[in-house]
């Protein structure tokens, strides 16, 4: 029996629901902050007169004023200037015709505005829509576009929907954003903290972003609830939370060329707004919390800090994650707002779901097993073909179930396996898998989709499509959140997501929203019955829908049925021979041993290396799995793993099965090892040695971070109350550290003999101090304690260098260097350590130099005074300006900004231990263990450079 001939008759058709029905999985009316807020629901011009306009002049006149009004725009208008929309206005496009270009729309100092079903494109030098100093605005079912190929400074120089200047209670829903650089900005300036903080509450839901650059959205100082949005090809940065902004991100899907889905790192990337530097603008980090599970796709996520925005304080409807792409594409954009009827009105019912076999309506006691016995069909096919069945033993009543075509069935017994069943029936494993392609064909311990399997082909022919489930999807939350007051008393407290059941909720809708299996739900909520889940739910009570991985014991049983199966789709094989994974524990799949002989490697430009059509996409599976698939399941003589390259970065792997080598392919190697192969083996050996050394370095770095860098501070750090004292704070690394701490709103004190070169911020304080004098230090510390308080962080940064041979230095110069570079550290620690000990709270950082490991003839005095904690290599400061500009100097240089950033990060994370800058400079710490000749060679090479110049 040929594989391709069996595929045609195995499955019944799965006809999808009428597309409009999917939109019932989301809220079509106003939802979020534009609905639930202290002022009241956004109604726009409801109750006012309705007027239809067709020209720019009519439109400008119609939207003026604050009296309630509904303005309907029909056709395309080119605005000569920005359109000013007054309060209590609904501006709604008619059908697919309403198109605004030329200039955009402003809602300034307004309230209660609806902008709906409008297409706004190619707006130069300004936003498509700007909401400024306004409240209660609903931006719904619009389309925004320009031309992203023009770069960030043409059409895309401004946003599509920007919400600024203390605007509040906004919902942006069901919009189609595409082909633009900067999409939606919330809070337009990092200096407007006092104006914006406490405002900018914005809901983004069910929007479809495609081919965008940045800001989907980007927020400052506010709160944005971002759920059920679809992002496709968001090229640089989708969601960005910065400057103490908070976002709650849940149920979103990211697809295509989307590099970063979510970031709270404060840096405004150059592709967004490089105002002060081509490397981007630095701002404070934002906050992010994750609610219902997101599908990040291949995009990265960079959450530097989590906030307290765990839950939106209003009711909203989450679409099941796997349906978000379908629902967003069906519902977003113009021309959709009339698809669903308005409240109180009805439309003709959709056409009935087509089913080529028998349509069974589920009843209270139905299971996959009982229906399979009643109709003589495969129980697995009932489950796989009907996605409305959440669990075979917990069916929702009154759901239409399309049954597969009938076949002769066999009821699997307790100890049966695929092998034993096929042998008892007198058929091959290949035939058995073809009849029941959800099975792996190996020694299965359980049949995961039910106990009724087919032993003959189904007597019908039609196609179906199955969406693969991702076994890597996690039903677990990352960390525990506070338990709500209305939580089920017996629910597991180790929970990261909670859901409050509402009237009308059933288990299917609750688990669908949170992409959670029934078995995991009942394990996390013991009061819920697996056999009668819906009846167990109590409205108003919160249940755990996202336990952490530590919440349940390792012995937690896998579900009786799982969607992690393997199945055919039409005539193409999709992950045919994959193991079925339990939620916890090893795979239940076992490979049958296969003996094989290697006949060499081959290359083929266009064709497969084996003749025949039995092949499949194989991902990262092993050669042994391919061998098992071909020789055991398909009974072929040859198998091969073949890679097809579409580009240097894009490729697919295939497992090829056949009974004959393709005569046109080129053999790459012979059985005897050639000279080239010997060279390859040597290269592999050397690479192995290098890899081993690299792994050792990585392990060493990890152990340093765990053992050495871990903070020993008894009290937690509250940077709003800490005081950082930096010596040598008027120049070089010290000046950069002062700026970086002050920009983070941390109080910082600078001790230096020289005044700062630029004006300090209000939270930075300069004191003129001679650090070589204990008396000068004590006087300055008394003043600091009196005016500011006791410093909790000391950074000994002050240092000087002469760059001369020891014979060329005077006694006073040597004395001054020792006092500044070494003794001053003792005086400062003596002055600050008592208060740190008393508080059981403090951090001391000593800036040293790699020169302490390499004592050079022209630098002996400096090297002797520079052993400490932070060891930077050459840093571009005034200290070595003459040296670095000399033609003989070729060593790598660090900028003060880079060194300062690393030191500040070291302090803020409470780390201890040595810090080398750059990291590879740590290798120099081992120079004292080098052979003597090697030490002298290194010192002489550096000394030659210093002899030709001076610092």
484-495 per-position pLDDT tens digit: 999 998 899 999
Give mean pLDDT, residues 2-14: 22
Q: Higher model confidence: residue 87 or residue 21?
A: 87
Report angle CA 783, 789, 791 to the nearest 5 degrees.
100
Give mean pLDDT, residues 5-12: 21
pLDDT of residue 610: 74
215, 336, 497, 744: the catalytic one is 215
Give the integer Cα–Cα distance in Å for 390 and 152: 46
pLDDT of residue 406: 76
pLDDT of residue 435: 74
pLDDT of residue 430: 66
Asked whether the beta carbons of 477 and 591 are under 8 A apart, the reply is no
pLDDT tens digits, one per residue of 229-255? 999 999 889 999 999 999 999 999 999
Of the listed ranges 317-321, 827-831, 924-928, the one predicted with least confidence? 924-928
pLDDT of residue 422: 75
Examine the pLDDT at 619 and tell me if it is beyond 80.
Answer: no
* Element (DSSP H or E) covering residue 768: strand 764-768
pLDDT band with cut points at 50, 70 and 90 for residue 906: low
pLDDT tens digits, one per residue of 519-537? 778 888 988 887 678 888 9
pLDDT band with cut points at 50, 70 and 90 for residue 542: very high
pLDDT of residue 560: 32
pLDDT band with cut points at 50, 70 and 90 for residue 584: very low
pLDDT of residue 599: 60
Give the integer Cα–Cα distance in Å for 403 and 371: 9
Give mean pLDDT, residues 153-171: 84
pLDDT tens digits, one per residue of 721-750? 899 999 988 888 888 889 888 888 899 999
Q: Higher model confidence: residue 469 or residue 338?
A: 338
H helix intervals, 556-674: 623-628
Active site residue 215: yes
Report the CATH superfamily, name and number, of domain 3-16+353-454: LysM domain (3.10.350.10)
Looking at every residue in the chain, the average pLDDT score rounds to 75
Asked if the domains at 3-16+353-454 and 470-554 fall in one CATH topology, the answer is: yes
Distances (CA, A) of 688 to 60, 692, 697: 73, 6, 14
Cis status, amide bond into 918, omega within 30 of 0: yes
pLDDT tens digits, one per residue of 175-216? 999 988 889 999 988 889 999 999 999 999 999 999 998 999
Fold of 723-947: Rossmann fold (3.40.50)
pLDDT tens digits, one per residue of 783-813? 999 999 999 999 988 888 776 777 777 888 8
Q: Residue 120: count other Cβ atoms within 10 Å of its Cβ.
A: 26
Q: 620: burial class by Cβ within 10 Å (0-12, 13-18, 19+)?
A: exposed
Delimit the domains of the chain by residue range.
3-16+353-454, 19-232+312-324, 470-554, 591-671, 676-708, 723-947
pLDDT of residue 556: 44
Give mean pLDDT, residues 683-696: 78
**For the CA atoms of the chain, what is the radius of gyration?**
34
pLDDT tens digits, one per residue of 69-117? 999 999 999 999 999 999 999 999 988 789 999 999 999 999 999 999 9
Examine the pLDDT at 577 and tell me if it is beyond 50.
Answer: no
pLDDT tens digits, one per residue of 836-872? 888 888 888 887 765 555 554 444 445 544 544 444 4
pLDDT of residue 678: 54
Examine the pLDDT at 50 and tell me if it is beyond 70.
Answer: yes
Of the listed ranges 37-51, 567-581, 632-646, the one predicted with least confidence? 567-581
Q: Residue 789: phi, psi to the nearest 5?
A: 140, -175
Q: In a 3-state reduction of DSSP, which class is residue 298? A: coil
Give the integer Cα–Cα distance in Å for 433 and 422: 9
pLDDT of residue 684: 74
pLDDT tens digits, one per residue of 380-419? 888 777 766 656 766 666 677 878 777 788 888 777 777 7
Is 19-232+312-324 CATH 1.20.120.430?
no
Instruction: Name the residue with tokens 């049983």.
Output: 557
Examine the pLDDT at 307 and tell me if it is beyond 70.
Answer: yes
Tally the C-alpha atoms within 13 A of residue 5's C-alpha that lie toward its C-beta: 3
Assigned token pair, 82:
């920005």
Q: Residue 804: count other Cβ atoms within 10 Å of its Cβ.
A: 19
What percentage of the chain has pLDDT greater than the value 70? 64
Phi-psi domain of 452 (left: phi exceeds 0; alpha: psi -120 through 50; beta: other): beta
pLDDT of residue 164: 96
Max CA pair span of the chain: 104
Q: What is the 3-state secondary structure (H, E, C) of 871-931?
A: EECCECCHHHHHHHCCCCCCCCCECHHHHHHHHHHHHHCCCCCCEEECHHHHHHHHHHHCC
Give the integer Cα–Cα distance in Å for 674 and 678: 6
Q: Higher model confidence: residue 632 or residue 230?
A: 230
Distances (CA, A) of 648 to 299, 608, 651, 655, 699: 20, 20, 8, 21, 31
What percentage of the chain has pLDDT greater than the value 90? 32
Examine the pLDDT at 664 and tell me if it is beyond 80.
Answer: no
Q: Higher model confidence: residue 160 or residue 853?
A: 160
Examine the pLDDT at 762 and tell me if it is beyond 70.
Answer: yes
Give mean pLDDT, residues 371-385: 82
Examine the pLDDT at 929 and tell me if it is beyond 80.
Answer: no
pLDDT tens digits, one per residue of 691-715? 887 787 777 667 665 554 455 455 6
CATH architecture of 470-554: Roll (3.10)
As a dihedral over the C-alpha atoms of residue 329, residue 333, residue 337, residue 338, rounded to 10 degrees, the angle is: -70
Strand pairing category for 495-500 and 843-846: unpaired
Q: Of 350, 359, 416, which Cα lies nearest the Cα of 388?
A: 359
Q: Higher model confidence: residue 699 or residue 673?
A: 699
pLDDT tens digits, one per residue of 244-288? 999 999 999 999 999 999 999 988 887 776 555 556 678 999 999
Examine the pLDDT at 879 and tell me if it is beyond 70.
Answer: no
């Amino acid at each position: 029996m040929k594989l391709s001939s069996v595929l045609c008759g195995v499955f019944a058709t799965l006809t999808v629901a009428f597309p409009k029905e999917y939109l019932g999985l989301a809220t079509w009316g106003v939802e979020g902050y534009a609905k639930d807020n202290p002022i009241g629901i956004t109604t726009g011009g409801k109750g006012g007169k309705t007027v239809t306009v067709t020209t720019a002049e009519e439109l400008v006149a119609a939207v003026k004023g604050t009296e309630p009004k509904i303005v309907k725009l029909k056709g395309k208008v080119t605005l000569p200037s920005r359109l000013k929309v007054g309060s209590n206005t609904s501006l709604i496009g008619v059908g697919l015709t309403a198109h605004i270009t030329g200039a955009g729309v402003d809602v300034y100092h307004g309230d209660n505005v609806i902008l709906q079903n409008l297409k706004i494109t190619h707006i130069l030098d300004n936003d498509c829509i700007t909401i400024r100093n306004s409240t209660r605005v609903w931006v719904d079912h619009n389309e925004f576009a320009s031309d992203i190929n023009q770069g960030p400074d043409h059409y895309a120089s401004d946003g599509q929907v920007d919400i600024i200047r203390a605007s509040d209670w906004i919902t942006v829903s069901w919009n189609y954003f595409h082909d633009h650089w900067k999409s939606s900005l919330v809070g337009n300036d990092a200096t407007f903290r006092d104006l914006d903080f406490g405002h900018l509450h914005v809901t983004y839901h069910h929007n479809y972003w495609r081919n965008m650059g940045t800001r989907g959205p980007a927020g400052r100082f506010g709160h944005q609830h971002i759920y059920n949005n679809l992002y496709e090809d968001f090229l640089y940065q989708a969601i960005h939370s910065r400057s103490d902004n908070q976002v709650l991100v849940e149920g979103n899907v990211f697809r295509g060329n989307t590099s970063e889905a979510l970031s709270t790192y404060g840096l405004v990337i150059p592709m967004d707004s490089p105002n002060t530097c081509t490397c981007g603008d630095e701002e404070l980090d934002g906050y992010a919390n994750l609610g219902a599970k997101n599908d990040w796709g291949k995009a990265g996520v960079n959450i530097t800090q989590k906030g307290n925005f765990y839950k939106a304080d209003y009711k909203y409807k989450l679409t099941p994650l796997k349906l978000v792409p379908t629902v967003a594409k069906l519902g977003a954009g113009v021309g959709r707002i009339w698809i669903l009827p308005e409240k109180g009105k009805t439309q003709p019912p959709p056409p009935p779901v087509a089913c080529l076999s028998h349509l069974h309506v589920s009843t209270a006691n139905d299971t996959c097993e009982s229906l399979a016995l009643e109709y003589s069909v495969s129980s697995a096919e009932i489950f796989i073909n009907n996605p409305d069945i959440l669990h075979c033993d917990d069916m929702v009543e009154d759901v239409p179930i399309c049954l597969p075509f009938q076949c002769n069935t066999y009821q699997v017994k307790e100890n049966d396996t695929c092998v034993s069943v096929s042998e008892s029936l007198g058929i091959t494993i290949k035939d058995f898998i073809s009849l029941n392609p959800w099975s792996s064909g190996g020694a299965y311990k359980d049949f995961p989709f039910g106990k009724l399997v087919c032993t003959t082909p189904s007597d019908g022919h039609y196609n179906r499509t199955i969406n693969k489930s991702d076994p890597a999807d996690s039903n677990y939350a990352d960390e525990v959140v506070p338990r709500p007051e209305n939580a089920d008393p017996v629910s597991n407290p180790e929970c990261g997501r909670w859901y409050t059941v509402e009237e009308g909720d059933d288990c299917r809708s609750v688990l669908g929203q949170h992409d959670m299996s029934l078995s995991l739900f009942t394990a996390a909520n013991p009061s819920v019955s697996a056999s009668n889940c819906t009846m167990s739910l109590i409205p108003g009570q919160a249940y755990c829908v996202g336990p952490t991985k530590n919440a349940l014991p390792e012995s937690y049983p896998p579900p009786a049925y799982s969607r992690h199966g393997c199945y055919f789709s039409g005539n193409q094989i999709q992950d045919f021979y994959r193991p079925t994974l339990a939620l916890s524990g090893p795979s239940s799949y076992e490979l049958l041993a296969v003996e094989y002989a290697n006949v060499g490697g081959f290359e083929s430009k266009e064709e497969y290396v084996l003749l025949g059509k039995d092949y499949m996409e194989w991902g990262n599976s092993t050669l042994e799995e391919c061998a098992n698939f071909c020789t055991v399941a398909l009974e072929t003589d040859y198998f091969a793993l073949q890679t097809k390259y579409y580009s240097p970065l894009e490729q697919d792997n295939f497992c090829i099965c056949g009974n004959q080598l393709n005569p046109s392919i080129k053999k790459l190697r012979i059985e005897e090892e050639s000279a080239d192969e010997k060279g390859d083996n040597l290269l592999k050996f050397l690479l192995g040695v290098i890899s081993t050394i690299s792994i050792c370095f990585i392990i060493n770095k990890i152990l340093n971070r765990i053992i050495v860098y871990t903070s020993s501070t008894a009290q937690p750090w509250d940077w709003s109350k800490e005081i950082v004292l930096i010596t040598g704070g008027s120049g070089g690394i010290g000046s950069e550290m002062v700026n970086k701490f002050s920009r983070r709103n941390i109080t910082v004190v600078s001790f230096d003999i020289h005044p700062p070169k630029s004006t300090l911020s209000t939270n930075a304080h300069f004191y003129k101090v001679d650090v070589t004098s204990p008396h000068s230090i004590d006087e300055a510390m008394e003043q600091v304690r009196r005016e500011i308080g006791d410093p909790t962080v000391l950074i000994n940064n002050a240092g000087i260098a002469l760059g001369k041979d020891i014979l060329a230095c005077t006694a006073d110069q040597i004395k001054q260097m020792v006092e500044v570079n070494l003794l001053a550290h003792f005086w400062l620690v003596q002055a600050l350590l008592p208060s740190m000990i008393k508080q059981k709270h403090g951090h001391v950082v000593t800036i040293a130099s790699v020169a302490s490991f390499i004592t050079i003839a022209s630098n002996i005095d400096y090297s002797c005074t520079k052993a400490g904690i932070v060891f930077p290599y050459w840093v571009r400061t005034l200290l070595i300006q003459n040296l670095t500009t000399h033609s003989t100097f070729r060593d790598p240089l660090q900028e003060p900004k880079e060194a300062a950033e690393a030191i500040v990060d070291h302090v803020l994370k409470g780390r201890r231990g040595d810090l080398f800058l750059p990291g590879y400079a740590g290798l120099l710490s081992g120079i004292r263990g080098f052979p003597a000749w090697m030490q002298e060679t290194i010192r002489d090479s550096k000394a030659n450079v210093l002899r030709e110049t001076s610092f």
